[in-house]
Amino acid sequence: MAVVVMKFGGTSVASIDRIRNVARHVKREIDAANQVAVVVSAMAGHTNQLVAWVREAALLHDAREYDAVVASGEQVTAGLLAIALQSMGIPARSWQGWQIPIVTDNAHGAARILEVRADDIRQRLSQGEVAVVTGFQGLEPDRNRVSTLGRGGSDTSAVAIAIALGADVCDIYTDVDGVYTSDPRIVPTARRLPRISYEEMLEMASLGSKVLQTRSVELAMVYRMRTRVLSSFADAEAVQPVRSGSEWQDIGTIVCDEEEIVESQVVSGIAYAKDEAKVTIVKVADKPGVAASIFGPLAEASINVDMIVQNLSADGKHTDMTFTVVASELPKTLEVLQAASNGIGYSEIKSSADVVKVSVIGVGMRSHAGVAAQMFRALAEKGINILAITTSEIKISVLINAAYAELAVRTLHTLYGLDKD
Ligand code: ADP
Ligand code: ASP
Ligand code: MG
């Protein structure tokens, strides 16, 4: 008998029919005598609609009320799935974040899970009842309010619950049958990766592959929670139920330790992120302290700066400073720089959200030289100009004009031998 956490995303619960299909996946595990906790997202598009209504009500709104509204989508699907399971003769009960509770900090809209008090659920599971848990939601205990975990946060709910329950596996069911070498929606030749290391998945997620929320991978990595990504669209009976300690059927992707991956390539995947914005501060003094005068005020305003490029100084006295921030923070960034203009001293500020960050990721880069050089050459051959570069041990990211995003991703996918045969 195994303890299994199964998470179903928005498209997997988009209609009553789809919810019945989810119930069949759950039944398979129950029939195999497993204990099952299910985590559900809101129906596809529902959270977007809720967010749009909040914005329409007031562009600047109270974050606690934003959470009160957007957390509601998951309540619907959790109840519906519990009903679908019951009507198949499977004992099931829905649980909202506050009922468990899943305790979070007070960063409404992007809260972090502090603790999952899973005792009640654990007891119900041992009695053969399925716990259907709302993803995305938590409880902020100081003010006793509902909190949400940021977009895509149901993945994180699932991994956190799996850790709290000491589950054998956390299965993330979605609309693709695994993690691919690149987003299959824009790279038709992308291949499913049977396994990917926690480190690589973490980079892929944080660099734009939204198949898993970054925080969920972070948690899985820290607690070594075996996490699988697989399709809910597969026939429920064609999937083998989870069995403790047995071999895994080669469906989906297993996120696991690097040592468990036999065949690995230098580059495992290509990610892209469209939510970047570029800021250039023109003609700042080329002297010690200028970077601090720019990035100090931004840090104080909690604005995360990603890529930074300082141009060569033509006259030895002045230079331009270019950096990127998340596009949604561009207005705030410009405000902060305006307010700090006396301290910085510049002639003008240019900005553009018409950029994307394209990244190549692979643990093999640790032991292979020349990956970056190959990348820059291939992009140059396609006439793609690189606006900024950052690297770490297992990734290289470049900032380019948004118009070239797909061309760049496909070019690099072919360059590193990732195209399927
Ligand atoms: P869910 O609603 O189930 O949480 P998401 O839309 O959040 O689903 O995530 C699944 C989507 O992630 C896929 O449809 C795919 O377009 C996208 N995606 C981006 N990068 C990748 C990748 N490398 N591998 C698989 N899917 C990816
Ligand atoms: N429903 C939430 C969202 O759309 C959470 C999730 O799907 O993971 O962001
Ligand atoms: Mg998702």
Where the chain has pLDDT below 50, the residues are none
The answer to whether 150 and 112 have CB atoms below 8 angstroms apart is no
Residue 209, pLDDT score: 97
Tell me, using a 6 A CB cutoff, whether residue 214 lines ligand 2.
no
Residue 45, pLDDT score: 98
What is d(CA 345, CA 324) in angstroms, rounded to the nearest whole number? Answer: 19
What is d(CA 419, CA 421) in angstroms, rounded to the nearest whole number? Answer: 6
Q: Which domains does the chain have, with CATH numbers?
A: 3-259 (3.40.1160.10), 269-415 (3.30.2130.10)
Tell me, using a 6 A CB cutoff, whether residue 41 lines ligand 1.
yes
> Which ligand lies nearest the alpha carbon of 157?
2
What's the chain's average pLDDT? 96
Distances (CA, A) of 118 to 2, 99, 105, 124, 209: 17, 10, 18, 10, 30
> Which ligand lies nearest the alpha carbon of 268?
1
Q: How many CA atoms lie within 13 A of 342 on its CB side?
A: 1
Residue whose CA lies nearest to ligand 1 atom number 10: 211
In the block, tokens 């790279």 appear at: 187
Residue whose CA lies nearest to ligand 2 atom number 9: 151
> Would you give the DSSP letter of residue 10?
G
Structure tokens at 354: 């018409």
Residues with Cβ within 8 Å of 330's Cβ and at least 6 positions away in sequence, in order, are: 277, 279, 351, 353
Tell me, using a 6 A CB cutoff, whether residue 74 lines ligand 1.
no
Distances (CA, A) of 53 to 47, 59, 221: 10, 10, 36
Give me ligand 1 centre to Cα 420, in Å.
Answer: 18
Residue 312, pLDDT score: 78
The answer to whether 56 and 134 have CB atoms below 8 angstroms apart is no
Residue 294, pLDDT score: 96
Pairing state of beta strands 348-361 and 395-401?
Answer: antiparallel
Structure tokens at 267: 């580059």
Q: What is the pTM of this model?
A: 0.95
Residues with CB under 5 A from ligand 3 (ion): 9, 152
Structure tokens at 179: 């993690």
What is d(CA 420, CA 418) in angstroms, rounded to the nearest whole number? Answer: 6
What is d(CA 273, CA 209) in angstroms, rounded to the nearest whole number? Answer: 8
Using one digit for the tens of pLDDT, what is the confidence trace for 278-288?
999 999 998 89
DSSP codes of every residue in 82-100: HHHHHHTT--EEEE-GGGT
Residue whose CA lies nearest to ligand 2 atom number 8: 152
Using one digit for the tens of pLDDT, what is the confidence trace for 319-343?
999 999 999 999 999 999 999 999 9
Tell me, using a 6 A CB cutoff, whether residue 253 lines ligand 2.
no
Tell me, using a 6 A CB cutoff, whether residue 229 lines ligand 1.
no
Residue 314, pLDDT score: 80
Residue 117, pLDDT score: 98
CA 287 to mean position of chain CA atoms:
39
Closest to 360 in 3D by CA, of 326, 323, 398: 398
Percent of the chain with pLDDT over 70: 100
